[in-house]
Structure 1
């Protein structure tokens, strides 16, 4: 089983997608993202891992996901089934998705 590894030398594309949501719908959005990940995303070629985070004030949900490459991520975006889940999430919340590279990691 592959796990999330935050490593500046890892050859992965990292998606950080921050959703802004009303607190009353935060759990609904989390449930949708978890279901989409379990039913669809994790079965796409190039998927590595996904992690869903919730803000303590209820106004944000962040998806930290890793893909084997930018191409794998872009191919997922083009998949109509994946688009359905992304559209459903955008009906609940505003999204700000960006791809990142890990620049630095520090441990105590």
Structure 2
């Protein structure tokens, strides 16, 4: 199993893209919390493949690009009380949280 993001239209993974809107003065706090949550909890959940956090240059967004082996694995994580604690705390830092599951429809390389 790979531990880094591998984007491939033939690979049946559940891709989570979660966009957080945050005050610029709290962007680093949110990234740190998400990284800690991943190290302590998320990466130990069945089906977890990887998580990547992107901080916008204007300081107003944090994007979590994560991969799970299946939608079922992702949904099971959502019911884990330990994972919920981290997600609830992130929601107190961000003013808006928009998680969505995706499938890779097209991938291009240079």
Same fold by TM-score greater than 0.5: yes
TM-score range, shorter chain: over 0.9
Whole-Å separation in 2 of the counterparts to 1:70 and 1:14: 8
Q: How many residues align?
A: 108
5 Å matches for 1:3-82? 3-82=4-83
Give the SS at the match of 1:27.
Answer: helix
Whole-Å separation in 1 of the counterparts to 2:39 and 2:22: 22
Whole-Å separation in 2 of the counterparts to 1:21 and 1:2: 28
The farther-off stretch of 2-11 and 79-88 is 2-11
List runs of 5+ in structure 1 lacking aligned partners: none
Give the SS at the match of 2:90.
Answer: helix
TM-score of the superposed pair, with normalisation by structure 1: 0.98
List runs of 5+ in structure 2 lacking aligned partners: none
Partner of 1:96: 98
